C-alpha cells in the first residue's frame, strides 16, 4: 500500500474511532438527562416550581438555623426574597453569600446585586 493510501486509511480509522466515542458520549448524556428527569424533586425545587416563595423562605431559614454557612440554603433564601421584591433582605443575603463563599461572587451574586441596585434607584 503506498504511503498516501496508508495515511488516508489511518485518518479514516481515526475518524471512525472519534465518531464512535462521540456517539458513546451522547448516549451517556441522554441517559443522565433521563435520570435527572426521573429523580424526585426536593421540597425546595417543588416550591420553586409552584412559585411558593414563602415555603422557600421558611425552609431556607430553618436550614440556616442549623447550618449558618449553608450556601445553597442562603442562595434559595436570597432568590426568594428577590422574587418577592424584598430588596433589602435579598441584598443582605446575596452579600453574605459573597463574603462566605467568594467563588459565588462574580458569577452568581453580583448580577443580582446589580439588578437590586437598579431597581432601588428606579
Residue at 2 is within a domain: no
User: DSSP E strands: which ranges in 10-106?
Assistant: none
Specify the DSSP element, H or E, that contains 45. helix 43-50
Q: What is the pLDDT of residues 105-116, one digit of tens each?
A: 888 999 999 999
User: Could you tell me if residue 105 is inside a domain?
Assistant: yes
**Residue 109 forms part of a structural domain:** yes
Residue whose entry in the numeric block shows the C-alpha cell 464512535: 20
pLDDT of residue 39: 67
Kindly list the distances between the CA atom of residue 37 and the CA atoms of 30, 40, 41, 43, 106, in Å, as whole numbers in the listed order: 11, 8, 9, 15, 29
Residue-wise pLDDT for 75-111, tens only, equals: 999 999 999 999 999 999 999 999 999 998 888 999 9
* Model pLDDT, residue 41: 64
Domain span holding position 74:
43-121
The CA–CA distances, whole Å, from 100 to 26, 85, 95, 107, 110 equal: 37, 23, 9, 14, 14
Residue pLDDT, tens place only, 9-61: 888 888 888 988 999 998 888 888 887 677 666 777 788 788 899 999 999 99
Domain count, the chain: 1
pTM of full prediction above 0.85: no
Which CATH number characterizes residue 74's domain? 1.25.40.10
Domain assignment of residue 61, yes or no = yes
Given a cut of 80, whether residue 1 has pLDDT beyond it is no
Report if residue 37 sits inside a domain: no
Residues 76/82/83/87 CA torsion (nearest 10 deg): 150
Amino acid at each position: 500500500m503506498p504511503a498516501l493510501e496508508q495515511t488516508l486509511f489511518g485518518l479514516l480509522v481515526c475518524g471512525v474511532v472519534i465518531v464512535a466515542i462521540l456517539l458513546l458520549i451522547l448516549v451517556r448524556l441522554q441517559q443522565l438527562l433521563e435520570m435527572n428527569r426521573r429523580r424526585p424533586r426536593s421540597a425546595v425545587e417543588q416550591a420553586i416550581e409552584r412559585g411558593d416563595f414563602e415555603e422557600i423562605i421558611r425552609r431556607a431559614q430553618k436550614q440556616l438555623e442549623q447550618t449558618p454557612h449553608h450556601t445553597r440554603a442562603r442562595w434559595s433564601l436570597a432568590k426568594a426574597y428577590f422574587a418577592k421584591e424584598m430588596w433589602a433582605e435579598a441584598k443582605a443575603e446575596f452579600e453574605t453569600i459573597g463574603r462566605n463563599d467568594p467563588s459565588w461572587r462574580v458569577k452568581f451574586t453580583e448580577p443580582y446585586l446589580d439588578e437590586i441596585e437598579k431597581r432601588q434607584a428606579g
